[in-house]
Chain A
Amino acid sequence: MREAFTLLISGDAETWGIVARSVRFSFLSTIFSLLPGVPLGVALAVGKFPGKRIAVSVVNAMTAVPTVVIGLAAYSLISRSGPMGKFGWLFAQAGVVMGQTLLALPVVVSLSYTGLAKLDPRFHETLTTLGTKPLLRLLITLREARSVLIAAAVAAFGRVTGEVGVSMMLGGNIRHLTRTMTTAIALDAAKGDFERAISLGLVLLVIALGVNLALHFLTASGA
């Protein structure tokens, strides 16, 4: 344990490089999942269309799909013979970010939908009676539900930071390129190099605690 702390405190370049890479991947995939995820959540919450309940159920179910299944689906897309094989994303950083984006997307859609669906019905009627145009309506809706949307982003970040299946399958755990905290822990533990595994585990724990604290305060302020 002492060695693990020493690795962190001494500023070990490889350890902190892995942390920085993980955070960068998680940050990018969270952003990329928010771009389509929030509008989809809005559409589910305020839209009226056939099959809406089924769509909501599918999105909610997707949040619980194991990461290796998402990884497998993404692998089939970006493998050399897959429809997106020409981009060369397999075992590259773009592949990990893409896979993590797919993983985060249902979380963002589901939480955005849940939060927006809970908006007071008087809010929608007020915008309608005042003749609010669609674009302003969308902006005001996002503004009113901002704490929910930030909470969705934080939850998505937490989901992708702690996953191992997608990063391992799509990134290949390549040193200095696609190795993340979780894949490094898996490798180091298998090799018996527990110092680095524990040090990275501690960082993951701190991140998980921070994400949960942020979620707690954001949802409390939203309520």
Chain B
Amino acid sequence: MEQESEWEPKLLGFLCRWCSYAGADLAGTSRKKYPANIKIIKVPCSGRVDPLFILKALRMGYDGVLVSGCHPGDCHYQTGNYRARRRIVITKKFLEYMGVDPRRFQASWVSASEGVKFTEVATEVTKELSEIGANQLFVDGK
């Protein structure tokens, strides 16, 4: 049977190694389903994420970016996610001002035991991205 090539959103996820990545792993071992649109990059801490990564991902054609880390107060490195929070929030607001749909860059706090939450986040974000449509932000010649 031939597969219809329908556009599927591409989501890039930066997951912190101690909480969110473990949470995603738990979702897997618990056989919880979530859309395969997300590609995950493991970072040691959400504080590792430079806004540059987000812009670069959008530039490369990803339809959305998700940054996920430990809950505030639970960071393995004590303060990494606090720093990430400040950066994420100003990046979100600034990109929205520039004209990027705010749903393209999202963030979440997912702990190592929240496998279910991770599946919910991944599903919701993917759904929102399918609603917005493909990322044409950096496409030439319009």
Q: Do A and B bind each other?
A: no
Residues of B that sit less than 8 Å from A by CB: none
Residues of A that sit less than 8 Å from B by CB: none
